[in-house]
Amino acid sequence: MKILCIGDIVGTPGCEMVYTQLKYIVNDYGIDFVIANGENAATGNGITAEKAEKLVDSGIDVITLGNHAFAKAEAGELMSNGFPMIRPINFPTKTLGSGFILKECQGKKIAVINALGRVYMNPIDSPFEAVSKCVDDIKDKADIIVVDFHAEATSEKAAMAWYLDGRVSVVFGTHTHVQTADERLLPNGTAFITDIGMTGPYNSILGVDKDIAVTRFLTLMNKRYELAKGNSVLNGIILDVEGVNVKSIKRLSLC
């Protein structure tokens, strides 16, 4: 079984890339199951119901989120209605939605867990404790466990992967919008990559109009961010899973 994980989809350019290209990628690479981080699908922050539904209609099986999960309030309603979208599991217990989901593919149960980091990010409960408890709760029900760890610090992401090595199928990072080249299998079988990158405007700074971002650095004035225009890049990983074991993790970067 091949699982495609797509990095943070940014704005309409990133969504359009998925709407128009995902079917060809699925066909070309023989993909069976698709997970995508959609926390920036609405104009950079959050996700609208319309875009979430269109992304799922385009072939995404599970949408994960992150620190911008509730930037658009309708995301909470959508998750409460059973839509295949999850928010970080270490949010407060009264937060709408769930931090994990179980789906079936080719007779295998795939669990997807989303968690949010704490280093250089807003205060939140320990992602390590929340994910570990979730893994303990669902391990008898799931054949494959996928963790999208939405975090800033490379060290925190590596720590999560080593902490979970042998207990989950993969830990991949999102949030920085920059794909790292450190994909590997850890000694006890868990696949890991620090960040899978973003899906959005190629000539940009993390998806944002480069001139605006440069001006902010030059002047320290809060010029309003706008998304960049032009062609998009799609970044992600493909996991090759045999039975319940990950055989390989490969980076994907398509313009």
Which residues are the active-site residues?
68
Please report how close the Cβ of residue 65 comes to Fe ion at its closest, in angstroms. 9
CB-nearer residue toward Fe ion: 87 or 175: 175
- Tell me the residue number closest to Fe ion, measured at CB: 8
List contacts with Fe ion (CB under 5 A): 8, 40, 66-67, 175
CB-nearer residue toward Fe ion: 143 or 195: 195
CA distance 14 to 40: 9
Please report how close the Cβ of residue 127 comes to Fe ion at its closest, in angstroms. 13
Please report how close the Cβ of residue 185 comes to Fe ion at its closest, in angstroms. 26
Smallest Cα–Cα separation from 18: which of 234, 250, 236, 238?
234
CB-nearer residue toward Fe ion: 206 or 246: 206
CB-nearer residue toward Fe ion: 10 or 144: 10
Contact 173, 196 (CB under 8 A): yes
The CA distances from residue 184 to 31, 159, 203, 244, 253, in Å, are 20, 14, 28, 17, 17
Please report how close the Cβ of residue 152 comes to Fe ion at its closest, in angstroms. 8
The CA distances from residue 221 to 12, 80, 210, 215, in Å, are 26, 39, 15, 8
CA distance 221 to 217: 8
- Sign of the Cα torsion 153, 69, 51, 109 reads positive
Contact 22, 28 (CB under 8 A): no
